[in-house]
Amino acid sequence: METADVVIVGGGVIGTSIAYRLAGNRKVVLIEKGEIGAETSGSCDKAIFLQSKKPGFPIKLAQESRMVYENLEEELGMNIEFQKNGGMIVIENESHLDFMRKFVKQQNKADINVKLVDQKEALAFQPCLSPGIVGATYSTVDAEVNPLLLTRAFAEAAKRKGLIIRRHTEVTGIVTKDSRVIAVQTNDGRIETELVINAAGPFAPKIAEMVGIGLPIIPRRGVILISEKVKPIVHGNILCSQYIAAKHLSNNTDVPSYGIGLSLGQTESGNLLIGGSREFKGYDKAVEPKILSAVAMHARRIAPSLEPVRIIRAMVGFRPFTSDGLPIISEVPHLKGFIIAAGHEGDGIALAPITGLLVASLVNKDLKYKDFLDQLQLDRFNASHASPKQG
């Protein structure tokens, strides 16, 4: 009979970060249906943006996570290409200028170091940009990391602490008895455990469904283009104000087709990551060619230097969307031993470090992060979602 103290479902950046914090003094098994970091965490951009977060709790959470990054490379003992190169949000048209001005003021009030720069300054810092832009916001606190390396670093460090990883293994059921979890059933045997952590990202609702819990997480499809290697032309990461408007303006009527907003970064080896789209398309990965073209055209308009660069691949991922833009890191009512740690949407990379600590605190019941966890409860959503189905 195989037993574990904890079974983590999902080997993305969230699952591995949690595994790293939990492994060591307990037996932790991580179940991954494919490869480590091969879904959402392997098809995202590399930005750790702070300046774009909503003031209040979202910023506090992001800052806490950003602090963990400071020593993470050393702690995990592996190069994750963490760079403090700052981040820029390009303002493309006058109509966004007023909003962005208010945005900067509001962020400064929340203690986020971000400033508005004019077109000249923006171009001096990022020569790849179009002279047609009106300005940009710039922050030195934004950083970047290689998500592939980050996930691997968490997994390797956790393995050194005794984590057992089961790749190509699917969870087929969660066995409960008297409202407690007692085992996890997989396509490759059963593991007796009293604690399951659902870190399956966009697939978390499918796992929760197995115990009759409906999760308010919806897969949001995003596509990112990858270019050939070029010399360094992007410093830090670049977003466009379209993205901020879409994120912060609930009454924003100027919604671009396929939810396109620029996200531009460059890996250490020279490849550009050019994003992206945001669409609700279920779990359908077949992206139509017109969406790829639209992403490329949008990026080229803002950064004309991209024109001669060749695109060599495109990657598609599902971001686990929640309606308030915050993840769910929570136990569930009426079922003991089932923890949700999912719903980070586009902030999975930025929030992975803190998520591991939050879940560890939840498991250890040490109240260290009580203030944070209180805000990330599952029952903040409609009560009908959170209660288990009858029968």
Nearest approach in angstroms of CB 293 to other proteins is: 10
For other proteins, which residue of 118, 188, 209, 288 counts as binding (CB under 8 A)?
Answer: 288
Nearest approach in angstroms of CB 298 to other proteins is: 18
Nearest approach in angstroms of CB 264 to other proteins is: 14
Which CB atom, from 297 or from 312, has the smaller least distance to other proteins?
312
For other proteins, which residue of 269, 383, 389, 391 counts as binding (CB under 8 A)?
Answer: 269
Cα separation, 27 vs 20, in Å, equals 12
Which CB atom, from 255 or from 312, has the smaller least distance to other proteins?
312
Q: Which residues of 328-361 are buried (b: 16+ CB within 10 A; e: fewer)?
A: bbbebeebebbbbbbbbbbbbbbbbbbbbbbbbb
Nearest approach in angstroms of CB 226 to other proteins is: 13
Q: Within positions 205 to 264, which residues make up the interface with other proteins, using CB under 8 A? A: 228-231, 233
Cα separation, 268 vs 343, in Å, equals 29
For other proteins, which residue of 180, 270, 366, 382 counts as binding (CB under 8 A)?
Answer: 270
Q: Does residue 286 bind other proteins (CB under 8 A)?
A: yes
Secondary structure of 186-248 as H, E, C letters: ECCEEEECCCEEECCHHHHHHHHHCCCCCCCCEEEEEEEEEEEECCCCCCCEEEEHHHHHHHH
Which CB atom, from 279 or from 324, has the smaller least distance to other proteins?
279
Nearest approach in angstroms of CB 13 to other proteins is: 25
Residue 49 — left, alpha, or beta (φ > 0 → left; ψ -120 to 50 → alpha)?
beta
Which CB atom, from 131 or from 289, has the smaller least distance to other proteins?
289
CA distances from 369 to 64, 133, 181, 237, 360 (A): 11, 42, 24, 30, 10
Q: Which of the ranges 64-72, 283-291, 340-348, 367-375 carries the binding residues for other proteins, by CB under 8 A?
A: 283-291
Sign of CA dihedral 212, 214, 217, 220: positive
Q: Which of the ranges 55-63, 151-159, 186-194, 281-289 carries the binding residues for other proteins, by CB under 8 A?
A: 281-289
Virtual CA dihedral for 361, 366, 368, 371, nearest 10 degrees?
90
Cα separation, 192 vs 189, in Å, equals 10
Q: Within positions 159 to 198, which residues make up the interface with other proteins, using CB under 8 A? A: none
Which CB atom, from 140 or from 305, has the smaller least distance to other proteins?
305
Token look-up 């977060």 returns 53
Q: Within positions 291 to 330, which residues make up the interface with other proteins, using CB under 8 A? A: 305, 308-310, 312
Cα separation, 8 vs 200, in Å, equals 9
Cα separation, 240 vs 223, in Å, equals 16
Pairing relationship of beta strands 164-166 and 28-31 according to DSSP bridges: parallel
Nearest approach in angstroms of CB 166 to other proteins is: 19
Convert residues 16-35 into a mask of x (bound to other proteins by CB under 8 A) and - (unbound): --------------------
Nearest approach in angstroms of CB 98 to other proteins is: 34
Which CB atom, from 85 or from 140, has the smaller least distance to other proteins?
85
Q: Does residue 120 bind other proteins (CB under 8 A)?
A: no
Nearest approach in angstroms of CB 38 to other proteins is: 14
Residue 237 near residue 87 (C-beta atoms within 8 A): yes
Nearest approach in angstroms of CB 258 to other proteins is: 16
Q: How many helices (H) and strands (E) does the chain have?
A: 12, 20
Give Dmax (Cα) for the chain: 67
Token look-up 């606190």 returns 141
Token look-up 């769910």 returns 328
For other proteins, which residue of 74, 94, 177, 289 counts as binding (CB under 8 A)?
Answer: 289
Q: Does residue 85 bind other proteins (CB under 8 A)?
A: no
Cα separation, 379 vs 242, in Å, equals 31
Phi, psi torsion values for 221, nearest 5 degrees: -80, 135
Nearest approach in angstroms of CB 322 to other proteins is: 30
Which CB atom, from 111 or from 284, has the smaller least distance to other proteins?
284
Which CB atom, from 209 or from 268, has the smaller least distance to other proteins?
268
> Judged by CB under 8 A, how many residues of this single chain contact other proteins?
15
Q: Residues in the site for other proteins, rule: CB under 8 A?
A: 228-231, 233, 269-270, 286, 288-289, 305, 308-310, 312
